[in-house]
Amino acid sequence: MTNLPHWWQNGVIYQIYPKSFQDTTGSGTGDLRGVIQRLDYLHKLGVDAIWLTPFYVSPQVDNGYDVANYTAIDPTYGTLDDFDELVTQAKSRGIRIILDMVFNHTSTQHAWFREALNKESPYRQFYIWRDGEPETPPNNWRSKFGGSAWRWHAESEQYYLHLFAPEQADLNWENPAVRAELKKVCEFWADRGVDGLRLDVVNLISKDPRFPDDLDGDGRRFYTDGPRAHEFLHEMNRDVFTPRGLMTVGEMSSTSLEHCQRYAALTGSELSMTFNFHHLKVDYPGGEKWTLAKPDFVALKTLFRHWQQGMHNVAWNALFWCNHDQPRIISRFGDEGEYRVPAAKMLAMVLHGMQGTPYIYQGEEIGMTNPHFTRITDYRDVESLNMFAELRN
C-alpha cells in the first residue's frame, strides 16, 4: 500500500465521547483520566489519532456543543493538567489528539453573549440580531432542533438567531473580531499539542445577509454552504490551520459534492477533509428523518460511488458509519442477533475499503448496538426530546 503525503491520509481516527467513555471518579460521567487509562487499549487497537468531543465549560443543553468557554475544561471532565497529561501520554504511544471546535454558535452563557445583551457593547456584533415584534420573528427559518430559529430578547427588543437550541446563539462571522477570537482559540489548543480540529457544522457559518423568508422550506438553503463560507475557511486556513500544522475535518450539514470538492481540495486551501451525511439518509423515506424505514442499499451503493468518484484525485473524504449523533450502524444497517459479528465485519470492510480517512466511534470496533431505551426520559439528546414533544403534539 502506498503511503500518501499527510499522516491523516494514512491513519485511522477513533472518536471518543468523554461523557460516556470511562468514569474514574464514580460520578457517573466519563472524564479525561478515563481516556488516559484506555490509551494502551487504543494503541493496541492501532488508532493513529483520537477525536475528543467537547469537554469545555458548558451548561450541557446540547451535551457540550453549547460552549460557554472555549479554553476552559468543565470540571466534570477534569483539568488542564489532565488534558496536558493526556496529550503527553498519547503522543508517547504515537497517538495524536483532535479536538472538536463548535464555531457556528456559543452557549448563551458564554461571556461574549452575556456582554452582547447590552446593545451598546461591542460584543453585540458578535451575534446575529434582527428587529421584529414579540410574536413576529424576522423570518420563517426553522431551528434544526425544532421551532423558530429566532429567540426574542425583551430587554433589547430584538431577536437573536439560533439555528440549533435557543441556548446556542449563532456567531456573526461577518465580524472580523469574531474570526480573530476563534483563531486565538485554535492557537491556544495548538500550543498545548493538539494536532487537529473537527469543525462542527462549519458550512453553516455564512448566512444570506438579506435573511429572506423561505417560501419553499425551512431556511437552510439561505445558510448552508453560504455566500462567504469558503472565503472564511480559506482565511482560517491561511492564518492558523496551515501555519500551526493542524489537520482539519469539517462537519458539513446538507452539503453537496461540488462544495466538498472545494472545502477539502487536495491543494489544501480550506480544510483537510469533510464529513457528509448523504449515505446516512437512505433510511429517510421522502427525506423524513423521524420516520422509521428500511435502508435503501441500492441508493447507498450509488451514493458511495458518486462521492468516491467525485472526490478521487480532487479532494479528501472522511469515512464513517457512526458518531455521537447517529444510531449504531449494526442496529441500523446490520443485524443485532445471530449475524451481529459478521454484520460488523462486513460494515467495517465497506468503510475501510474506500478511499478516505476512516473514523471509528467508540465501541464500533467491538460491534456495539443501540441501547434500546424504553422511556423517553432515558434520552439525553435535545433534538430527540424536542422532536418527541413536537410529534406527540
Taking only the tens of pLDDT, the chain with its 393 residues reads 567 789 999 999 999 999 999 999 999 999 999 999 999 999 999 999 999 999 999 999 999 999 999 999 999 999 999 999 999 999 999 999 999 999 999 999 999 999 999 999 999 999 999 999 999 999 999 999 999 999 999 999 999 999 999 999 999 999 999 999 999 999 999 999 999 999 999 999 999 999 999 998 899 999 999 999 999 999 999 999 999 999 999 999 999 999 999 999 999 899 999 999 999 999 998 888 888 899 999 999 999 999 999 999 999 999 999 999 999 999 999 999 999 999 999 999 999 999 999 999 999 999 999 998 999 999 888 888 888 888 888
Task: For residue 156, count CB atoms less than 10 angstroms from its CB and return exposed for 0-12, middle for 13-18, buried for 19 or more.
Answer: middle
**For position 2, what pLDDT does the model report?**
65
Catalytic residue among 31, 251, 283, 383: 251
Count CB-CB contacts under 10 A for residue 186.
23
Residue 288: active-site member: no
| Three-state DSSP class for residue 128 | coil
| Three-state DSSP class for residue 367 | coil
Q: How far apart, in whole angstroms, are the C-alpha atoms of residue 386 and residue 317? A: 32
Residue 251: active-site member: yes
Can you name the CATH fold of 7-104+176-213+220-392? TIM Barrel (3.20.20)
Q: How far apart, in whole angstroms, are the C-alpha atoms of residue 174 and residue 196? A: 25
Catalytic residue among 31, 66, 170, 200: 200
362 — phi, psi (to 5°)? -45, 130
Task: For residue 52, count CB atoms less than 10 angstroms from its CB and return exposed for 0-12, middle for 13-18, buried for 19 or more.
Answer: buried
Q: How far apart, in whole angstroms, are the C-alpha atoms of residue 98 and residue 86? A: 12
